Amino acid sequence: MDIERISAFIDLLATSPLVELEVEDAQGRIRLLKPGTAAGAPAAVPALPSRPPLAPAGADAEPEMATEGLVLSPMFGTFYRSPAPGEPPLVSEGQNVEAGQTLALIEAMKTLCKIPAQRAGVVRRILVANGDPVTEGEPLFEIE
């Protein structure tokens, strides 16, 4: 890998809440860790912005999300439910997941970053469609 590409990965890691970044392609493999973090440590999840209380629920209103079970996007990028086009999604609604299990991928700067479950549970809802752009702190999954 050339130094410019490595510098771009370092900048990506420095400006995101990720603590670890690993990339492998035809040019080679690189693994970066933020100083003072253990390998494989989950990224700190940014706090959700405060939102106004929801209006009383009607018959067709969606249930309110509990913030403790949300998996948030750690970065800006494009959300993907499967590892490659044509392959099945990594997880589906109603599926049991383990802590650390990859739920989805986010692509940023032609790099795919795994989105792990912070805890074991059942995927209650998938809140983003495949291929949609996501922002840092945006809820992606609700796990109960």
Residues 115 and 77 in one domain: yes
Ranked by mean pLDDT, the top range of 11-15, 69-73, 82-86, 103-107 is 103-107
Residues 69 and 35 in one domain: no
Q: What integer pLDDT is reported at residue 37 of this predicted model?
A: 60
Q: Which domain holds residue 23?
A: 1-40
CA–CA separation, 116 vs 1, rounded Å?
A: 27
Number of domains in the chain: 2
Average pLDDT of the chain, as a whole number: 79
CA dihedral of 98, 118, 66, 93, whole degrees rounded to 10: -40
Give 114-139 pLDDT, tens digit per residue: 999 989 999 999 999 999 999 989 99
Residues 90 and 133 in one domain: yes
Give 93-105 pLDDT, tens digit per residue: 999 999 999 999 9
Confirm whether 58 is domain-assigned.
no
Confidence of residue 65 (pLDDT cuts 50, 70, 90): very low
The model carries a pTM of 0.55
Residues 31 and 72 in one domain: no
Confidence of residue 13 (pLDDT cuts 50, 70, 90): confident
Angle formed at CA 40 by CA 11 and CA 135, multiple of 5 degrees: 50
- The encoded tokens of residue 140 equal 């992606």
Residues 35 and 72 in one domain: no
- Give the domain CATH number at 86: 2.40.50.100
Residues 74 and 29 in one domain: no
